[in-house]
């Protein structure tokens, strides 16, 4: 059972995906963390983020290993635990530029497909292009949405001390970058189920997705 959960930042993708995977005994993959990890590596190694050809030239160098336990999803780069460092504002501000480079997407997409293929119990994979590009044959595709205001409020709650207005502006800017990039843009797959989380609590979103997965399982 492969479940693809896509959507822009702040819609509750990670929290929902982890909880659904844990509840249903599935593996879990945060694909955004992989793009953050390769971005962290680029920044740490002094690669010019404004030069796509420089990024492309070294896209194959870092060894990225993703754990798939929803209770504690680990991620390492060249053996270094980067779960904390990849969440910094510096990485957040540069990840769209790095992830837009086709060579980076090809490398990470290949990694994601191999992880999904080796998940014996099934897997919940969350990101921005899972249902459209990475796993177009996923058993169930879900696209989470929410208003920019709701997303900004959630994201600024996660990023302690951040301003809701500036968070909203940053999210809208990120959406535009991710939706307009040539390589695997953020988009809803034609056969995805759209779930608007604006008025829903996290528990309600999780319940909704679990129900969709169980219905799909029963129909298989």
Task: Return the pLDDT at 161.
Answer: 58
3-state secondary structure the chain: CEEEEECCCCCCHHHHHHHHHHHHCCEEEEHHHHHHHHHHHHHHCCCCCCCHHHHHHHCCCCCEEECCCCCCCCEEECCEECCCHHHCHHHHHHHHHHHCCHHHHHHHHHHHHHHHHCCCCCEEEEECCHHHHHCCCCCEEEEEECCHHHHHHHHHHHCCCCCHHHHHHHHHHHHHHHHHCCCCCCCCCCCCEEEECCCCCHHHHHHHHHHHHHHHHHHC
Q: Does the pLDDT at position 7 exceed 70?
A: yes
Task: Return the pLDDT at 162.
Answer: 67
pLDDT in tens, 137-170: 999 999 999 998 888 888 766 665 567 778 778 8
Q: Whole-angstrom distance between the N-terminal and C-terminal Cα of the chain?
A: 9
158, 22 in Cβ contact below 8 A? Answer: no
Q: Does the pLDDT at position 62 exceed 90?
A: yes
Average of per-residue pLDDT across 63-91: 95
Task: Return the pLDDT at 160.
Answer: 59
**Where does the pLDDT of residue 69 fall: very low under 50, low under 70, confident under 90, or very high at 90 and above?**
very high
Q: Which residues pair with 127 in a beta bridge?
A: 6
**Rounded CA separation 181/114 (Å):** 24
Task: Return the pLDDT at 133.
Answer: 94
Average of per-residue pLDDT across 69-76: 94
Q: Kindly give, in sequence order, each residue whose CB lies less than 8 Å from that of residue 66, ignoring residues fewer than 6 positions away.
A: 29, 30, 33, 34, 73, 74, 75, 111, 115
CA atoms within 13 A on the CB side of 151: 22
Average of per-residue pLDDT across 166-180: 77
For a pLDDT cut of 70, what percent of the chain falls above it? 97
Task: Return the pLDDT at 142.
Answer: 98
pLDDT in tens, 88-108: 989 999 998 999 999 999 999
pLDDT in tens, 14-51: 999 999 999 999 999 999 999 999 999 999 999 999 99
| pLDDT mean across residues, the chain | 92
Residue 15's CB is within 10 A of a number of other CB atoms, namely: 15
Task: Return the pLDDT at 159.
Answer: 61
């Amino acid at each position: 059972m492969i479940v693809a959960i896509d959507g822009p930042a702040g819609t509750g993708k990670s929290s929902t995906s982890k909880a659904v995977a844990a509840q249903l005994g599935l593996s879990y993959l945060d694909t955004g963390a992989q793009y953050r990890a390769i971005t962290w590596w680029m920044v740490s190694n002094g690669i010019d983020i404004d030069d796509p050809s420089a990024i492309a030239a070294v896209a194959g160098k870092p060894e990225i290993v993703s754990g798939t336990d929803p209770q504690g999803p680990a991620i390492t780069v060249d053996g270094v635990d980067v779960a904390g460092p990849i969440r910094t504002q510096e990485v957040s501000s540069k990840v769209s530029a790095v992830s837009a480079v086709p060579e980076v997407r090809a490398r990470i997409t290949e990694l994601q497909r191999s992880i999904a293929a080796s998940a014996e119990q099934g897997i919940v994979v969350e990101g921005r292009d899972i249902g459209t590009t990475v796993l177009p044959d996923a058993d169930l595709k879900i696209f989470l949405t929410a208003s920019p205001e709701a997303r900004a409020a959630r994201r600024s709650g996660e990023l302690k001390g951040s301003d809701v207005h500036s968070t909203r502006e940053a999210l809208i800017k990120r959406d535009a970058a991710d939706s307009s990039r040539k390589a695997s843009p953020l988009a809803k797959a034609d056969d995805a189920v759209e779930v608007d989380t604006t008025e829903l609590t996290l528990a309600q979103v999780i319940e909704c997705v679990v129900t969709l997965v169980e219905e799909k399982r029963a129909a298989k």
